[in-house]
Structures are given as C-alpha cells and as structure tokens.
Structure 1
Amino acid sequence: MVEFSEFMLRTLFAGGCGLLVGLDREIKNKPLGAHAYILVALGSAALMVVTLNFSLSTMANDQDMTVNPSRLIQGIVGGIGFLGAGAIMGGKDSKRLRGVGSGAAIWGAGAIGIACGLGYLAEAAFLAAVTFAILNLHDWFESRAKGGAE
C-alpha cells in the first residue's frame, strides 16, 4: 500500500512537474494554460496511486479477484487525447493546425503524472525537463529560422 504521505509527495511532485511544462505554455499564451498541465499531471498521479492502493487491498482481501492497474493507464492516455484534440482544433480562418504542441505537451503531462503515481519521480522530473526544453528549443530554432529567412 502507498501511505498517505507518499501519496501527497507523488501527487504534489506531479503537480510541480506539470507546472514546469505549463509555465512555458502560459507565458507563450498557448491554448492550454498552466493550470491544465498541473491538473492533468496531478490527476493522473492521484488516479494511479489510488488504483494501486485499490488493487493491492483488493488482492489482499480476495485472492480470487484480479485487478489490472495498467488498464487505468490506457484510460488516462485516451482521456487526455480529448484535451489535446480540443487544443488542436483551430478556427476556420487558418489553413494550418494550431495547438499541436500544446496537445502533445498535455499528453506528456499525463505521462509525467502516471510516472509520479507509480513512484518514478526521477523519471517524471526528467520527462518534465525534456518536455520544457523541447518546447523552448523549438521556439528558439523557429525564431532563428524566421530571422535568417528575412
């Protein structure tokens, strides 16, 4: 069983990692703000820990019952896909999709939350740092490309 203090550590750590990714999106005024990334990472972590505790307590109480926590990961990933799609849906005035980076980043925030919920905090911190770096490096390269083309 995951104790409550560990639950708090994992979920708050996930929220902090979500904040790191979300700050980039918030500062750049992207479709999804920092609060969305925090909540997705926090919620994903909380769902994973609660599911782990449920699985462990159910199997301890009833040896005949099988519970597969990995099915929750599938549900989280699918559910976050709807948030990403909402970020990507653009207006009719543009011939180019907008919000793809935000859609991908919200999916990454879910992965960060899942990692935290399972207790992989170092891996989650690495994912958050790499996601943050990719979002910023992309913008840096894009600004250099536009500046060099003029």
Structure 2
Amino acid sequence: MEIELLLRLFAGLAAGVALGWQRTLRHKSAGIRTFGLVGLGTATAACLFSETLHPDAASRVVQGVLTGIGFLGAGLIVRRSDDFIPHGLTTAAAVWVTGALGCAAGLGQWAIVAAATLMAFALLTLDHSLERWVQHRHPGDEGSAGEGDVK
C-alpha cells in the first residue's frame, strides 16, 4: 500500500478525531468514533476517485458524499416538544465539516485540511458566552431571527 494513500486516509481520520474529541468533551451525542468514521469514510471515498482517468469523477464523489453527510447531520438535530429551540445544530454542522475535511484529505489537499481543521476546532471551542455577549451588546436587534430562533 502506498504511503501517500495511507497519509490521506490518516489525515481524514485525524481531522475527524480532533473535532470528535471536542464534541466528546462537551458531552454531545456524536463524538470521537462518529467523527473519526466520517473523516475516514469520506477520505476513503475521495481516494477511490482522486487518481481516476475522469477528472470530474472526484467532483461528483465529493458532491454525493457531502449530500449524504447532510442527511447524517439531520439525524442529530432534535426539537423537544416543550422547547421551540432545536438542539444539535452545531454537532450536525461539525459532522458536515468533517465530511468536507475528509474529502479534502482524500484528495491530498494538505493545507486545506490543516487550516480548516484548526479553524473548525477553534470555532467549536467557543462557548455560548460569546454569543450571549454579542446579544447583550446589541439588544435592539431582536426583530431578526438568529440561529435557533423560530419565527
């Protein structure tokens, strides 16, 4: 087995594990194993067609994978009957980002994988206190729907 192929698969797995680690620390429903599998699976799918004779095959694979990952993420979103605010949106978005990271890894886009993994991890480490601070600083903007708001 070729070293480059192993590096691509490992990069997808590592990106998923990094984001899954953060979600596990936050006690979310999807964690290290789920995110690791998404990263590895999407890297595998992208690797299958990254060296093909048809240049648009990788593009079609990435499109299909990211659509499919969207359905997986949709399963993480829950709205309780006693609460109008949906829960799981951030985890679902993180699963989708992990799919994109896996695809980038499978295609050998090292700079994208490294930079986007760091950015996603940093964004996930922000807690709701930043959002509450922004809402407190701009209390008059209640007329527009934000994330999780139902209008």
Give the TM-score range, shorter chain: 0.7 to 0.9
Distance 2:22 2:13 in 1: 15
User: 8 Å contact 1:21–1:37 — kept in the other structure?
Assistant: yes
How far, CA to CA, are the matches of 1:86 and 1:140 in structure 2?
A: 26
> What SS does the aligned partner of 1:88 have?
coil
* Separation in structure 1 between the aligned mates of residue 90 and residue 96 of structure 2, nearest angstrom: 10
**Residue equivalent to 2:35:** 37
1:86 to 33, 55, 75: 75
**Identity percentage of aligned residues:** 34
What is the aligned length?
137
Q: Relative to total residues, which structure has the larger helix share, 1 or 2? A: 1
Q: What displacement does 1:30 show?
A: 1.2
Runs of 4+ with deviation above 4 angstroms: 142-146
**If the length of structure 1 is used for normalisation, what is the TM-score?**
0.81
Indicate whether 1:97 and 2:86 are aligned: yes
CA-CA distance at 1:144 after TM superposition: 6.0
Q: Which TM-score applies when normalising by structure 2?
A: 0.80
Alpha-carbon deviation of 1:19?
1.0
- Confirm or deny: 8 A CA contact 1:7 1:46 kept in the other structure: no
Matched, 1:118 2:107: yes
1:6-43 CA distance string (max 9 Å, x none): 11111111111111111110110112112111111111
Match of 1:21 in 2: 19
Q: Which runs of 5+ in 2 are unaligned?
A: 136-151
C-alpha distance in 2 between matches for 1:13 and 1:44 = 11
Residue 6 of structure 2: aligned partner: 8
Whole-angstrom CA distance in 2 between matches of 1:10 and 1:139: 34
Change (3 A) 1:145 1:44: same
Partner of 2:96: 107
